[in-house]
């Protein structure tokens, strides 16, 4: 009997260890990068001229460049000085959460200007022939929100679908939204419907930073849940849902709608890598790469660049490698 009990206790101990082991395997560490690693809300693109550029929150849209996606150099800022209209939204002309894409022979850089805790916000856009810092021409406001609105016009992300151009956006308030853009100007179409893609069931509705990717016959909505911007106390994590239509409804793998709080957990903090979020996805040599920031618990919570391959299971759902 004692031997049986001992064996049972040992088996229970092994089982108790399994969840943490599985969790560690589920959330891989970011791939090693060197050089200038400090970044927040990264958006990355492989340039037509070769090499990579990453833009981020901080500075006048902070810039990093790389020739190999591993070693990154500080490249200054997208703009030398903030466009004057930014000061309508905060006293320092501070931009947030950029998104870079290439379309119609030029690069497009979307970004947000706002103040902490308010939805008096605006999304703007700039264009460039090369995508490099110092070459951007600001084109003004794309879409705005006011305190009377139930959404927040920050964290833009572009997606082309069915011959149309769309922009997902949103933070807290009622969650993730989407509007259609004029492909010629890159700005919201007059009278565009504001679609609702995702939210949380309880206040403060902590979901933001959308990014949408088309894979197979589905559109996949990635979003950052919970709290950012608190160093090692951040609880950011990345969740995902999918839809056959770009405007939704998006559901997770259990069928729970994202507007009802659904979303499969894709990447969460683990070990020294705290508060993984502020994500975007870019294509590199035919493969998808997830870019995000994390707070380094071994470096006083400094926000740093995370890069991982994004692969796809047979059932269509993404996995971080």
Could you count the other beta carbons within 10 Å of the beta carbon of residue 14? 10
- DSSP secondary structure string, 34-58? EE--B-SS-EEEE-TTSSEEEEESS
Instruction: Identify the CA nearest to 119 among candidates 71, 83, 155.
Output: 155
CB atoms within 10 A of CB 54: 25
Nearest to 260 by CA among 318, 195, 175, 194: 175
Neighbouring-strand partners of residue 290:
281, 308
Tell me whether residue 300 is one of the annotated catalytic residues.
no
Q: Which of 94, 99, 155, 208 is catalytic?
A: 208
| 3-state DSSP helix/strand/coil % of the chain, to nearest 5 | 10, 45, 40
Complete edge-to-edge strand list for the sheet that includes strand 176-181: 157-161, 164-169, 176-181, 195-198
Residue 129: strand, helix, or coil: coil
Buried b (16+ CB within 10 A) or exposed e, 186-206: bbbeeebebbbbbbbeeeebb
**Nearest CA-CA partner of 319 in 25, 5, 15:** 25
Residue with tokens 């998808």: 288
Is 41 annotated in the active site?
A: yes
Active-site choice (41, 155, 180, 252): 41
Q: Are 94 and 119 in contact (CB under 8 A)?
A: no
- CA pair distance 299, 273, nearest whole angstrom: 10
Residue 284: other Cβ atoms inside 10 A? 14
Dist. CA 63–CA 44, nearest whole Å: 10
Q: Which of 181, 211, 205 is nearest to 261 (CA)?
A: 205
Supply the residues annotated as catalytic.
41, 208
């Amino acid at each position: 009997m004692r031997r049986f009990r001992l064996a049972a206790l040992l088996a229970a101990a092994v089982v108790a260890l399994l969840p943490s082991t599985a969790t560690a395997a589920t959330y891989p560490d970011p791939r090693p990068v060197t050089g200038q690693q400090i970044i927040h809300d990264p958006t990355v693109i492989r340039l037509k001229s070769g090499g990579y550029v990453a833009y981020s929150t901080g500075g006048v849209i902070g810039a990093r460049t790389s020739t190999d996606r591993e070693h990154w150099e500080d490249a200054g800022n997208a703009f030398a000085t903030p466009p004057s209209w930014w000061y309508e939204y905060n006293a320092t002309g501070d931009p947030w959460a950029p998104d870079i894409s290439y379309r119609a022979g030029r690069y497009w850089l979307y970004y947000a200007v706002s103040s902490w805790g308010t939805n008096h916000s605006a999304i703007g856009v700039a264009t460039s022939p090369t995508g490099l810092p110092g070459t951007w021409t600001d084109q003004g406001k794309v879409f705005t929100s006011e305190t009377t609105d139930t959404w927040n016009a920050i964290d833009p992300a572009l997606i082309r679908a069915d011959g149309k151009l769309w922009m997902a956006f949103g933070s807290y308030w009622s969650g993730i939204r989407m509007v259609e853009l004029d492909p010629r100007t890159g700005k919201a179409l007059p009278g565009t419907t504001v679609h609702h893609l995702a939210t949380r069931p309880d206040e403060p509705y902590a979901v933001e930073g959308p990014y949408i990717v088309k894979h197979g016959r589905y559109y996949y909505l990635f979003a950052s849940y919970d709290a950012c911007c608190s160093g090692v106390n951040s609880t950011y994590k990345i969740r995902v849902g999918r839809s056959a239509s770009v405007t939704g409804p998006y559901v997770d793998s259990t069928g729970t709608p994202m507007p009802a709080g659904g979303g499969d957990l894709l990447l969460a903090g683990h070990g020294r890598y705290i508060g993984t979020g502020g994500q975007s996805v870019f294509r590199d040599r035919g493969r998808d790469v997830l870019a995000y920031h994390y707070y380094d618990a071994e470096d006083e919570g400094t926000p740093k660049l995370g890069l991982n391959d994004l692969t796809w299971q047979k059932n269509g759902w993404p996995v971080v490698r």
